[in-house]
Amino acid sequence: MSSALDATDVLVVGAGVAGLACARDLAAAGVSVRVVEASDAVGGRMRSDRIDGFVVDRGFQVFNTAYPQVRRRFDLKELRLRPFTPGFLVHTPNGRLTFCDPTRRPRTLPDLLSGRLAGPRDLAALGLLSARDMLLPPGRLKRRPDTTARTAFADAGISEEFVERLFRPFVAGVFLEDELETSSRVFHLVWRSMLRGTICLPTGGIGSVPRALAAGLPAGALRLETPVAGLTDHGVLTAGGVEIPARAVVVATDPGPAAALLPEVVLPDYRTVTTYYHVAARSPLGEPTLLVDVGRRFLNTCVLSDVVPSYAPPGRALIATSVIGRGGQARERELRAALAEAYGTGTDGWDLLTARTIEDALPVMPPPHPLTRTTRVAPGRYVCGDHRATGSVQGAMASGARAAREVLGDLRR
Ligand SMILES: Cc1cc2nc3c(=O)[nH]c(=O)nc-3n(C[C@H](O)[C@H](O)[C@H](O)COP(=O)(O)OP(=O)(O)OC[C@H]3O[C@@H](n4cnc5c(N)ncnc54)[C@H](O)[C@@H]3O)c2cc1C
């Protein structure tokens, strides 16, 4: 074994948003903290790469300004956010429908009232569900009985037909599953944040979010390219054979390494997603909005360069389309056909820039789903990440914050 590094109060393993949020809170409380990250940059599942002048996020995802952890931690101006238009488009065999909260975009009111999207009963039921989710204090939403999202829509009086046309394709893109089996509690909280906030992308790519968190760490606290191989009685052992002593260790890795480092922790199953990035000579849409498919041949698609022009070099359009599970050539061919229909334009001339498959993208969240769980595993050992809360940026950072509170409480005791 090589020589030990300086001791620290707390060592955080993993520089995703959970680990970074945890480390920021610990440092703010005056505790000495070090973050060790296996890869060459921070961000974990929220990273962006540059390929041939395009910004490519490691799987398409969006940033919601209404998440409580987002509001608490970020200067939104600094992230230079570009918004999607509120609402989304639904591709159906009979044409494209626009779904939007009419209080945000009054121009979409005639679409809503035309009856093409839903009849008056469904619209009234949807209005009531949305008003409740938006206006009730979050504590009330959290205490409501937990069922599946599908049961919640039925309980709200929304017809199966409307669920199939609107919610099923949309929710599939949010939870990466198209059976509506995710916890209703989680759905209501996410729906609330969508109604109250704005869906955006940072100009520099989704990776700007963890980079902004890391920028607030004390100088020298972050060590990249330092995978942790195991926990010891006194801290951790890196894959390079260096022991780093610490009074407390917080494992903030993705689920695979977390299971290896802390075999006693029970982890949920995870969902896999693939995002295809296509390049076209011009935007097939001309609008910064999400498009979902009632046939569910893809989860969602959007022209990223319509949202953030600098995602593509001048004169090119970058289109991101996600599908459940792993990709492959045959799947990409089928996808092109579906996209040609959805965008109403030929896709044969599009180039495939790259595809990103994320095996452990989001935890499965069946009901009853605890929104937060203790991070304590054993004396001096903690675990945090989206698997301890909800599969989202909010959940990951909230879990990191909880780990920091529990560590601080224990150290002070
Ligand atoms: C394609 C996709 C789309 C998504 N869409 C959304 C969305 O629209 N909205 C939303 O809110 N959320 C979305 N999410 C979820 C969100 O990105 C995650 O919940 C969140 O980023 C998880 O953060 P984390 O810190 O828990 O884990 P991670 O980001 O996985 O971070 C774990 C870190 O630990 C490091 N690590 C692993 N092993 C070791 C080791 N042995 N030693 C040291 N370091 C190690 C990893 O390299 C990584 O940096 C999406 C996720 C994906 C993948």
For 237-277, write each residue's pLDDT tens digit.
999 999 999 999 999 999 999 999 999 999 999 999 999 99
Atom nearest to 261 CA in ligand 1: 41
Ligand 1: which residue has its CA nearest to atom 52? Answer: 361
Distances (CA, A) of 364 to 16, 47, 176, 296, 377: 19, 22, 9, 19, 21
Res 361 pLDDT > 70: yes
Res 107 pLDDT > 80: no
CA–centroid distance, residue 92 to ligand 1 (Å): 33
pLDDT tens digits, 287-332:
999 999 999 999 999 999 999 999 999 999 999 999 999 988 999 9
- What is the Cα–Cα distance from 392 to 394, expressed in whole angstroms? 5
More confident position, 156 or 105: 156
Res 173 pLDDT > 70: yes
CA–centroid distance, residue 399 to ligand 1 (Å): 12
Candidate of 199, 249, 254, 301 to mutate for ligand 1, largest count of ligand atoms within 8 Å of Cβ: 254
| Ligand 1, CB cutoff 6 Å, lining residues | 13-19, 36-39, 44-46, 59, 61-62, 227-228, 252-254, 257, 273, 358, 361-362, 385-386, 391-394, 396
pLDDT tens digits, 36-57:
999 999 999 999 999 999 999 9
- The per-residue pLDDT for 212 is 98
Tell the residue number behind the tokens 């610990």, with chain if given.
26
- The per-residue pLDDT for 1 is 43
Over residues 343-362, the mean pLDDT reads 97
- The per-residue pLDDT for 103 is 78
CA–centroid distance, residue 178 to ligand 1 (Å): 22
How distant is the alpha carbon of residue 307 from its chain centre? 18
Res 8 pLDDT > 60: yes
- Mind listing the domains of the chain with CATH numbers? 8-46+207-269+369-412 (3.50.50.60), 48-83+200-205+270-363 (3.90.660.20), 118-196 (no CATH)
pLDDT tens digits, 177-227:
999 999 999 999 999 999 999 999 999 999 999 999 999 999 999 999 999
- The per-residue pLDDT for 116 is 76
Ligand 1: which residue has its CA nearest to atom 11? Answer: 392
CA–centroid distance, residue 29 to ligand 1 (Å): 25
Query: What are phi and psi for residue 55, nearest 5 degrees?
Result: -95, 125
Atom nearest to 238 CA in ligand 1: 42
Res 2 pLDDT > 60: no
Q: Are 129 and 138 in contact (CB under 8 A)?
A: no
- The per-residue pLDDT for 5 is 59
Atom nearest to 36 CA in ligand 1: 43
Atom nearest to 174 CA in ligand 1: 8
- The per-residue pLDDT for 200 is 98
Q: Are 28 and 20 in contact (CB under 8 A)?
A: no
pLDDT bin (cut points 50, 70, 90) of residue 99 is confident
Res 413 pLDDT > 90: no
- The per-residue pLDDT for 61 is 97
Atom nearest to 229 CA in ligand 1: 41
Q: Are 146 and 368 in contact (CB under 8 A)?
A: yes
Over residues 378-396, the mean pLDDT reads 97
- The per-residue pLDDT for 370 is 95
- The per-residue pLDDT for 183 is 98
- The per-residue pLDDT for 3 is 45
- What is the Cα–Cα distance from 323 to 273, expressed in whole angstroms? 6
pLDDT tens digits, 22-36:
999 999 999 999 999
